[in-house]
Amino acid sequence: MQADRKLLLISLHDPFLDSDRVMPPIGIMSLQAYMPPSGIDSAIENDFDIDNIEKYSEYTHFAISCMTPQKVEAYKILHAIKSEFKDKTVIIGGPHAKYYIDDCIKEPFDYIIVGDGEFALKAVMEGKAPERILNIPISEEEMNALPVPYREPEFLKQYNFDIQGVNTSTILTAKGCPMKCAFCEDAGSKVRLYNPSNINMQIKDVLSAGFKGVMFFDDIFAISKKRVMDLFPVITKHDIFYRCFGHARSMDEGMAKMLSESGCIEIGFGAESGSQKILDVIDKRTKVEDNIKFIEICNKYKIKVKAFIILGLPGEDMSTIKQTRRFLDVLMSNRFTNKFGKEITNDFDITVYFPYKGTRVRDYMDKKDNHYDIFFTKDPDEMLGFYKGKGGSAEITVRTSGLSAEDIGKIQKDLILEYKKMVIS
């Protein structure tokens, strides 16, 4: 690597969250942990100042991590850099680069990283990148040999997230998801697990930064009883409370007991809908009864449930909305005492579906194949594509044969207004 090369890792703002500083950017943090030991001078910028772009003149390379709803800011930064500096290298990575590669190719990015970033970005910085589009996967063994993410306390404290009053930061225990839901772009992606030693180091870093809680942010933390058993001794030796994600089919009394005893006070899961018809159409491979049992078991062990509901999935109509209302009635009817002795309820999030590229639903829509009862009402490539924006707003671009986009938007607002009144946190 040339000694004068210097890298700025850019974390974009979140146009879909009420606050930009909720979840720290673990992908960027992982890159920042890897670059300096590899001999690469790097820094993180989480509030890029386009109006004073000259202050970044010392950097030779700019790497932008981008989700699709962040593409407008990513492209603005790209063009600002290219306009101000004629000799700077700009790289894009993240989900947008992976699933919207055709869009990224049209923009003047010097490199497009598809998938894992560490080895690909190192190759760029060392002048060894063989082509513009880079896909250099990292094996599970290699992933566990990488440094744990950068968690400098002052950096982490810029992000404010709590679980039932406990100040919390995030950890990934795995990448990928074995589920094959038709609406999700990560469906069926290869699962790679961080080993217990790695997770132990990550928990230590979070605690050392002054946090008492952990958000295990991966999709599959509580999807396997064996996995929870493997991590149980690691987690229980630390005095933490945590939130994780689970799956209705894998939850039973034994799983819930282990989670509760190891400090779990909240669990999120993708209920998606209260309609069995919808669950079958999207290949969720769960029953509504499974979702209800999940809630009952978790609450029994003082674990709060946050159910994630998506409106506007293929086949949505007033009958499926009515069934989702019934599910919300069950979810919100239970009051219980949490581990801090406070009476609380469960919670929920209601978003509106946006068919991203890379999903089975979008593949059929792009082929003009009406396999799924869902249709675009606007050009999707001109939309940011977030499920839920600031203040709960939704960017609605779809309809079904039973509901217009306007219907879906009104139903979302009505359900949130009606059921959020029941939340006790």
**Domains of the chain with CATH codes:** 6-143 (3.40.50.280), 161-420 (3.20.20.70)
* 101: Cβ contacts below 8 Å, ≥ 6 apart: 112, 114, 133
Contacts of 410 (CB under 8 A, 6+ apart): none
Radius of gyration of the chain (CA): 22
Beta bridge partners of 65: 11, 93
Give the model's confidence band at 252: pLDDT under 50 very low, under 70 low, under 90 confident, else very high.
Answer: very high
pLDDT category, 50, cuts 50, 70, 90?
Answer: very high
* Structure confidence at residue 393 (pLDDT): 59
When mean pLDDT is compared over 17-31, 184-198, 308-322, the highest value belongs to 308-322
Q: Is 90 exceeded by the pLDDT of residue 423?
A: yes
Cβ proximity of 118 and 96 under 8 Å: no
Contact 194, 174 (CB under 8 A): yes
**Confidence bin at 15 (pLDDT 50/70/90):** confident
pLDDT of 14 reads 87
Tell me the pLDDT of the chain averaged across its residues: 94
Residue 136 tokens, joined: 């250099």
User: How confident is the model at residue 59, as a pLDDT?
Assistant: 98
Gap between the Cα atoms of 406 and 60, Å rounded: 47
Mean pLDDT of 19-29: 91
Question: What are the pLDDT digits (tens) for 98-135?
Answer: 999 999 999 999 999 999 999 999 999 999 999 999 99
Residue-wise burial string across 340-354, b where 16 or more C-beta atoms lie within 10 A, e elsewhere: eeeebbbbbebbbbb
3-state secondary structure the chain: CCCCCEEEEEECCCCCCCCCCCCCCHHHHHHHHHCHHHCCEEEEECCCCHHHHHHHCCCCEEEEECCHHHHHHHHHHHHHHHHHCCCCEEEEECHHHHHCHHHHHHCCCCEEECCCCHHHHHHHHCCCCCCCEECCCCCHHHHHHCCCCCCCHHHHCCCCCEECCEEEEEECCEEEECCCCCCCCCCCEEEEECCHHHHHHHHHHHHHCCCCEEEECCCCCECCHHHHHHHHHHHHCCCCEEEEEECHHHCCHHHHHHHHHCCEEEEEEEEECCCHHHHHHCCCCCCHHHHHHHHHHHHHCCCEEEEEEEECCCCCCHHHHHHHHHHHHHHHHCEEECCCCCEEECEEEEEECCCCCCCHHHHHHHCCCCCCCCEECCCHHHCCCCCCCHHHCCCCCEECCCCCHHHHHHHHHHHHHHHHCCCCC
Pairing of strands 162-163, 166-171: antiparallel
Region of poorest pLDDT, from 13-17, 158-162, 206-210? 13-17
CA distance 120 to 117: 5
Q: Which amino acid is at 414?
A: D
Banded model confidence at residue 346, pLDDT cuts 50, 70, 90: very high
- Rounded mean pLDDT, 383-412: 81
pLDDT of residue 220: 81
- Rounded Cα gap, residues 121 and 143, in angstroms: 15
Task: Return the axis-axis angle of helices 288-300 and 318-333, rounded to nearest 10°.
Answer: 10
Distance CA 411, CA 116 (A): 38
Q: Decide if pLDDT at 392 tops 70.
A: no
Q: How confident is the model at residue 3 (pLDDT cuts 50, 70, 90)?
A: low
Distance CA 142, CA 138 (A): 6
* Residue that wins the pLDDT comparison between 402 and 223: 402
Q: What is the mean pLDDT of residues 47-64?
A: 98
The pLDDT > 70 percentage for the chain reads 96
Q: For residues 372-382, give the mean pLDDT.
A: 90
Structure tokens, 339: 């581990």
Strand partners, 307: 269, 348
Average of pLDDT values for 255-262? Answer: 97
Q: Residue 388 — pLDDT band, cuts 50, 70, 90?
A: low
Q: For 324-331, what is the mean pLDDT?
A: 98
pLDDT at 387 over 80: no
CA distance between the termini of the chain: 52
Decide: 82 and 50 in contact? Cβ < 8 Å: no
Least confident of 30-34, 147-151, 216-220, 228-232: 216-220
